[in-house]
Amino acid sequence: MSDTKPYIPESLQHIAIIMDGNGRWAQKRGKKRVMGHKAGMERAREMAEYCGEQGIKVLTLFVFSSENWKRPPEEVSFLMDLFATSLKNESKKLHKNNVKLIVIGDKSGFDKRLQKAIDKAEDLTKDNDGLLLQIAANYGGRWDIAQAATQLAQAGITEISEEMLSDKMVTAGINEPDLMIRTGGEKRISNFLIWQTAYSELYFSDALWPDFDSLELQTAIDDFAKRQRRFGQTGEQIS
């Protein structure tokens, strides 16, 4: 590997990832699907390390959608255990690396043990000012918009601006994703940050998530670096 420093464009502050393909990765190897999630967890850790080292400000990982409860109960239960164990095992290291961890999503859907593990990890890392690692768990983009609108309705507000809604989303105050990556070959957003990715650059990789290493991530970043983001303007206005 070359020892030149990877190029990270200044405009790339927030990366969001849909980590798809764990089940297929395991099945291809004759293993149970859940073993893919275990391997996927290792990759998630590698991505957080890489983003932290490269000075990315925010990494948002989609670990469990509001719709994933429909999976077979044993897979759901494995994912919940993996989540709780990972929070317990990784939070000290994240703290040491100055990472601030927050869980975005409907935490009330988790059992008390998991809620406690989340609170503990968030509390331990709350003052860190390195990478912000947002774990989207029991998260759905439509849920996020609805809960933001509910808060405004409860406050008696009927004239709703885009800013007012953004300020009530679970990502309030955080820069929107500049780059959204989906692995696993599918090309859809699956109710991830549907409001916040309105102007994100999208990158789809055929690699199954446990095969998506930091070199693959850098390839996605290099691709992002070539894009011209116009935000509604013309190319001439931008250049």
Annotated catalytic sites, by residue?
20, 68
Least Å distance, CB 117 to ligand FPP, is 11
Q: Could you give the residue ranges of the DSSP H alpha helices within 99-213?
A: 112-125, 141-154, 162-166
Least Å distance, CB 137 to ligand FPP, is 7
Token pair belonging to 209: 């998530």
Stretch that binds ligand FPP, among 39-47, 92-100, 150-158, 229-237 (CB under 6 A): 39-47
Q: Using CA atoms, how far apart are residues 40 and 18, in angstroms rounded to an integer? A: 11
Q: Quick check: 51 binds ligand FPP (CB under 6 A)?
A: no
Least Å distance, CB 58 to ligand FPP, is 17
Q: Quick check: 31 binds ligand FPP (CB under 6 A)?
A: no
Measuring CA to CA, which residue among 207, 228, 229, 210 is closest to residue 219?
Answer: 207
Total number of residues that touch ligand FPP (CB under 6 A)? 18
Nearest residue (CB) to ligand FPP, 21 versus 177: 21
Bin 234: left if φ > 0, else alpha if -120 < ψ < 50, else beta: beta
Least Å distance, CB 135 to ligand FPP, is 7
Stretch (H or E) spanning 59 = strand 58-65
3-class DSSP assignment, residue 104? strand
Q: Quick check: 105 binds ligand FPP (CB under 6 A)?
A: no
Beta carbons of 37 and 209 less than 8 angstroms apart: no
Q: Using CA atoms, how far apart are residues 27 and 129, in angstroms rounded to an integer? A: 39
The count of other CB atoms within 10 Å of the CB of residue 44 is 22
The count of other CB atoms within 10 Å of the CB of residue 62 is 25
Stretch that binds ligand FPP, among 16-24, 91-99, 158-166, 194-202 (CB under 6 A): 16-24
Q: Quick check: 136 binds ligand FPP (CB under 6 A)?
A: no
Stretch that binds ligand FPP, among 2-10, 21-29, 114-122, 189-197 (CB under 6 A): 21-29
Q: Quick check: 40 binds ligand FPP (CB under 6 A)?
A: yes
Beta carbons of 61 and 47 less than 8 angstroms apart: yes
Site map (CB under 6 A) of ligand FPP, residues 60-79, x = contact: ---x----x----------x
User: Can you tell me which of 50, 209, 212, 224 binds ligand FPP, judged by CB under 6 A?
Assistant: 209
First to last CA, the chain: 34
Positions touching ligand FPP (CB under 6 A) are: 19-24, 37, 40-41, 44, 63, 68, 79, 82-83, 86, 184, 209
